[in-house]
Amino acid sequence: MSTSQKDLKLKKRSFSAFLGNMVRQQLFIPVAALLILVLFNLIMDPSFFKIELGHNSAGDPVLSGYLITIIDYASELAILAIGMTLVTSASGGQDISVGAAMAIAGSVVLRVLCGNNPRPEHMQTSIIVAFLIAVLVSMCFGAFNGMLVAFFKIQPMVATLILYTAGRSIAAWINKNKLPVISDPSFGYFGNSIPGIPLPTPIFIAVICMIIIAVVLKFTNLRLYSQSVGINSSSSRLNGINPQMVKFLTFVILGVCVAVAGFIKVSRLSTINYSVIAKDIEMDAILAVALGGNSLGGGKFNMKASIIGAYVIQFLTTTLTKFKVNSTAIPAYKAVVVIILVVLSAPIVREKMGTLRKKLARSKGNVGKEVA
């Protein structure tokens, strides 16, 4: 065998080792899913990736294209995924009330801005005040969920079922079941785009949230604490951690995420529809966490993977819409994709496939020898 051949073989081996290593990485699943979606679109219709600079009705420059849509629409989901990941890690359960809580947050924003008149000519207070009040209210609801989970030891899914049931009704009650509309265009900046900036604002808000959580994870022990509590709360307690406070805290953080996402959602429309706004988004947020390869049973988590998971879900939704799938039928396709992904990432299936691959490799090797 010549040296070059040897080199090649060596390279091949290290490459396969590299591949094997990658497959075992947690980021592999969401990234691979993303790549498959990208490839699929490339083959089916490369124009999917075209981004054009155009002008909107007001004459301001805006970038448009499916990619922009995906990144734009995934913003709320990505923000929710951040909080959901933390809650999942610390409490070993999921918050299914985020959609309803977003309706509440949105309703609060509108109520504060509109006052008692559902169609005001001018906003009653500045947007930032309305936003902050919504954050506060959301944190309170997060705290309520957190209290049930942390102090009364109720399973998260069940505890948040309460707010899930009542949330949209509370949202309607806040505005006395009226549908306020805000005509001031500056309110729409946060959900659409600011004149002069060609990218939709939600993208920037999502990025800001990611930077904040990255900083928080870097400069606090949130990761260590929530992972420890999620894995073994009894031993965390004996190491001086207060598991109840940690769980409580993650729900409050999720509350903040919910407020931000709810704010974007109402800003997109400048109004609210209580029974439809952010419907089923809790399912997507939980999916994002699971797609990221995080155990829904709590413990270790990978924030990047969750966030990528959120974008994968939106990518899928947008792809389906593009291929003229009826919007009400999208869930069926989503379900199939989710099941395939989850089954492929199941440890049992991976193990089986691993042994199968080895067997195949061996039989190939044998064939090669015989030929030689």
| Residue ranges that bind other proteins, judged by CB under 8 A | 94, 148, 152-155, 157-159, 161-166, 168-170, 172-173, 177, 218-222, 224-225, 227-228, 231-232, 234-242, 283, 286-287, 290, 296-297, 299-300, 326, 328-336, 338-339, 342-343, 346-349
Minimum Å gap between C-beta 2 and other proteins is: 35
How far CA 304 is from CA of 30, 31, 244, in Å, comes to 10, 10, 26
Minimum Å gap between C-beta 122 and other proteins is: 29
Minimum Å gap between C-beta 254 and other proteins is: 17
Residue closer to other proteins, measured from CB, 132 or 161: 161
- Residues 6+ away with beta carbon under 8 Å from 104: 137, 138, 141, 167, 170, 171, 174, 262
Minimum Å gap between C-beta 225 and other proteins is: 7
3-state helix, strand, coil in the chain (%, to 5): 70, 0, 25
- Give, to the nearest 10 degrees, the angle between helix 75-91 and helix 243-269: 170
Nearest CA to 109 out of 277, 270, 273 is that of 270
Residues 331, 231: Cα–Cα separation, whole Å: 33
Residues 91, 243: Cα–Cα separation, whole Å: 9
Residue closer to other proteins, measured from CB, 267 or 306: 306
Minimum Å gap between C-beta 188 and other proteins is: 28
Residues 169, 174: Cα–Cα separation, whole Å: 9
Minimum Å gap between C-beta 310 and other proteins is: 15
Minimum Å gap between C-beta 86 and other proteins is: 14
Q: CA dihedral defined by 208, 170, 272, 139, rounded to 10 degrees? A: -10
Residue closer to other proteins, measured from CB, 171 or 260: 171
Residue closer to other proteins, measured from CB, 36 or 332: 332
Residue closer to other proteins, measured from CB, 54 or 297: 297
Residue closer to other proteins, measured from CB, 10 or 361: 361
Any idea how long the chain is? 372
Residue closer to other proteins, measured from CB, 143 or 283: 283
Residue closer to other proteins, measured from CB, 232 or 271: 232
Minimum Å gap between C-beta 238 and other proteins is: 5
| Strand spans (E) along the chain | 52-55, 61-64
Residues 268, 215: Cα–Cα separation, whole Å: 28
Task: Work out the burial of residue 5: count CB atoms within 10 Å of its CB; fewer than 13 is exposed, 13-18 middle, 19 or more buried.
Answer: exposed
Residue the block writes with tokens 């109720």: 154
How far CA 213 is from CA of 54, 77, 134, in Å, comes to 33, 15, 20
Minimum Å gap between C-beta 168 and other proteins is: 7
How far CA 65 is from CA of 69, 133, 184, 324, in Å, comes to 6, 35, 27, 16
Residue closer to other proteins, measured from CB, 136 or 157: 157
